[in-house]
């Protein structure tokens, strides 16, 4: 996804996106940084639509998203799919497997993706040896929970129009915090079908509503690229307040 923008030299260590994220929550000592950067890991590449974890799998490692984009989803009895989260680089995907054997949902790559596979024992050692880092990771899981709550609120109580606006606001803010946006544009790896599965809407209705947002001069999604036309007004329409993301930068307050 950023391959074009970040040649090999730009990724000195696979944990860089994670460190960036944790530093947004507070300063890290160099010992703490080193402990994370020094975790044993194996890099694995996934193709677009590659399966990272299947529901019911019991991974014996923790997965760190290094580059690309993944999503979690469940499938209900009627066959419909609900996407429950999107993740951008720096995310630890299955810390819960430190406690829970099996994952109760699926994780797949949206685009070609690199994941660092870190043995559970190494993570356990880190948590034990560096309580500060354990607290930071816990903190991050609370942020993830806050994002879940916003999604629930949107799906439960917002119109299709506001839901799409909110998701694009959140995604753009998170991409920007991860250093992956340019101006008011960023990669947008979701098809309209996937957008529907994330927002509890049909593909057809996504299509119509997204075009309405375009006609209204708010945003454009085209060729896997998101362009925000009117950031202030989009935030109003979306009822979006980025505070819950706890990002360092005041989220592209410019414009």
Interface with a second copy (CB under 8 A): 25, 72, 74, 76-78, 80-82, 84, 95-96, 99-100, 102, 104-105, 127-128, 131, 134-135, 138-139, 141-142, 144-146, 148-149, 151-153, 155-158, 162, 199-200, 239, 243-244, 246
Which of DNA, a second copy, none does residue 134 bind to, with CB < 5 to 8 Å depending on kind? a second copy
Question: Under the rule (CB under 7 A), what is the footprint of DNA?
Answer: 159-161, 191-193, 196, 200-205, 207-211, 222-223
Which of a second copy, DNA, none does residue 81 bind to, with CB < 5 to 8 Å depending on kind? a second copy
Q: Which is nearer to a second copy, 31 or 145 (CB)?
A: 145
In terms of C-beta density within 10 A (0-12 exposed, 13-18 middle, 19 or more buried), how is residue 71 classed?
A: buried
Q: Which is nearer to a second copy, 230 or 246 (CB)?
A: 246
Which of DNA, a second copy, none does residue 208 bind to, with CB < 5 to 8 Å depending on kind? DNA
**d(Cα 88, Cα 209) in Å, to the nearest integer?**
25
Q: How far is the CB of 1 from DNA (least distance, A)?
A: 13
Q: Which is nearer to DNA, 13 or 203 (CB)?
A: 203
**d(Cα 148, Cα 142) in Å, to the nearest integer?**
10
Q: How far is the CB of 6 from a second copy (least distance, A)?
A: 30
Residues whose CB is less than 8 angstroms from the CB of residue 57 and which lie 6 or more positions away in sequence, other chains included = 102, 103
Could you write out the DSSP letters of every residue in 95-157? GGGGT-SS-SSEEEESSSEEEEEEEHHHHHHHHHH-HHHHHHHHHHHHHHHHHHHHHHHHHHH
CA distances from 220 to 217, 223, 231 (A): 8, 10, 12
Residues whose CB is less than 8 angstroms from the CB of residue 76 and which lie 6 or more positions away in sequence, other chains included = 82
Q: Give bridge partners of residue 82 from the DSSP assignment.
A: 74
Q: How far is the CB of 156 from DNA (least distance, A)?
A: 9
**d(Cα 27, Cα 39) in Å, to the nearest integer?**
19
Which of a second copy, DNA, none does residue 210 bind to, with CB < 5 to 8 Å depending on kind? DNA
Q: Which is nearer to a second copy, 49 or 138 (CB)?
A: 138
């Amino acid at each position: 996804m950023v391959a074009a923008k970040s040649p090999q030299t730009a990724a000195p260590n696979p944990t860089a996106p994670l460190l960036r994220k944790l530093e947004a929550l507070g300063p890290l000592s160099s010992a703490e940084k080193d402990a994370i950067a020094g975790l044993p890991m194996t890099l694995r590449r996934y193709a677009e639509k590659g399966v990272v974890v299947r529901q019911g799998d019991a991974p014996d490692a923790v997965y760190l998203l290094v580059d690309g984009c993944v999503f979690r989803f469940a499938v209900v009895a009627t066959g419909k799919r609900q996407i429950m989260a999107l993740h951008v680089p720096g995310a630890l995907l299955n810390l819960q497997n430190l406690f829970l054997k099996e994952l109760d949902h699926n994780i797949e790559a949206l685009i070609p993706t690199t994941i660092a596979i870190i043995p559970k024992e190494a993570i356990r050692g880190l948590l034990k040896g560096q309580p500060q880092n354990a607290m930071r990771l816990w903190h991050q899981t609370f942020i993830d929970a806050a994002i879940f709550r916003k999604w629930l609120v949107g799906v439960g109580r917002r119109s299709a129009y506001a839901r799409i606006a909110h998701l694009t606001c959140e995604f753009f803010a998170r991409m920007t915090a991860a250093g992956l946006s340019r101006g008011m544009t960023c990669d947008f790896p979701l098809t309209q079908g996937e957008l529907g599965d994330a927002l509890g809407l049909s593909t057809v209705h996504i299509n119509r509503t997204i075009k309405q947002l375009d006609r209204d001069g708010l945003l454009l999604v085209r060729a896997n690229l998101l362009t925000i036309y009117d950031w202030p007004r989009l935030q109003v329409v979306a009822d979006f307040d980025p505070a819950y993301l706890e990002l360092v930068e005041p989220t592209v307050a410019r414009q």
